[in-house]
């Protein structure tokens, strides 16, 4: 009976971490939509989601620490608890970075973007695919497809390099475009960072399931 109650608490934590992952995915995709549409309503929606993610992350961490302190978990349980704390924090960080993208949206309201958004939205879509891989693995308590994550993370890196080169060309040709180009460059930087966080999250899932440390680059 004690073990059953403990397992229910672990399952509840897992469900909340999955909710955190859903928040993260929503924030990334909606932040990109807000930028493309210059939509302030979406900006406000993302900020509310981010606030909810802050509270849920704190709640997950607090419950995990209580379980670790009071229930005397075995090694596999401890890996689960430590991983849930880490991953919840990762998802909360993704929400924070998505809010930074909305700051660019606010800044560009009422004026056209420097260039049509092509590669940057592809970065966001790929992040969404990576999050789906992580969330499915967490839900099923199995290792992630590390090769798929690495391939997508490499794709995000290549898109970032394309965006960087293109925006640098704009700035060199016309110094008046530097501010606008820098705004878009920061969006690409945030998405590239998010891709790295999602890849590291997958590595933590592997650690949780298999007890081995891997690096997904």
What are the residue boundaries of the structural domains of the chain, listed by start?
Answer: 2-210
Q: How many whole angstroms separate alpha carbon 204 and alpha carbon 143?
A: 9
Spatial neighbors of 1 by CB under 8 A, at least 6 apart, are none
Q: What is the pLDDT of residues 16-63, one digit of tens each?
A: 999 999 999 999 999 999 999 999 999 999 999 999 999 999 999 999
Q: What is the pLDDT of residues 87-144, one digit of tens each?
A: 999 999 999 999 999 999 999 988 888 888 999 999 999 999 999 999 999 999 898 8
Percent share of the chain, pLDDT over 70: 99
Query: Residue 215: its pLDDT value, please?
Result: 79
Q: How many whole angstroms separate alpha carbon 31 and alpha carbon 27?
A: 6
Identify the CA nearest to 182 among candidates 96, 95, 94, 103. 103
Q: What is the mean pLDDT of the chain?
A: 93
60-94: buried (b, 16+ CB within 10 Å) or exposed (e) per residue?
Answer: bbebbeebeeebebeeebebbbebbbbbbbbbbbb
Sign, CA dihedral 183-189-193-194, equals positive
Q: What is the CATH number of domain 2-210?
A: 1.20.58.220
């Amino acid at each position: 009976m004690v073990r059953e109650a403990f397992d229910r608490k672990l399952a509840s934590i897992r469900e909340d971490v999955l909710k955190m992952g859903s928040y993260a995915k929503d924030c990334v995709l909606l932040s990109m939509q807000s930028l493309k549409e210059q939509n302030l309503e979406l900006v406000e929606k993302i900020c509310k989601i981010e606030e909810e993610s802050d509270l849920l992350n704190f709640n997950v961490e607090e419950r995990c620490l209580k379980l670790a302190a009071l229930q005397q978990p075995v090694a596999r349980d401890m890996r689960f608890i430590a991983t849930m704390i880490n991953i919840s924090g990762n998802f909360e960080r993704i929400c924070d970075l998505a809010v930074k993208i909305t700051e660019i949206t606010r800044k560009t309201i009422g004026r056209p973007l420097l260039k049509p958004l092509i590669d940057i939205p592809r970065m966001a879509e790929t992040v969404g695919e990576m999050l789906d891989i992580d969330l499915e693995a967490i839900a099923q308590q199995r290792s992630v497809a590390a090769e798929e994550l690495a391939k997508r993370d490499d794709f995000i890196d290549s898109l970032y390099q394309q965006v960087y080169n293109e925006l640098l060309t704009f700035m060199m040709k016309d110094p008046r475009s530097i501010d606008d180009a820098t705004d878009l460059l920061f969006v690409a930087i945030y998405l590239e960072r998010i891709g790295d966080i999602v890849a590291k999250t997958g590595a933590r899932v592997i650690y949780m399931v298999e007890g081995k440390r891997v690096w997904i680059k």
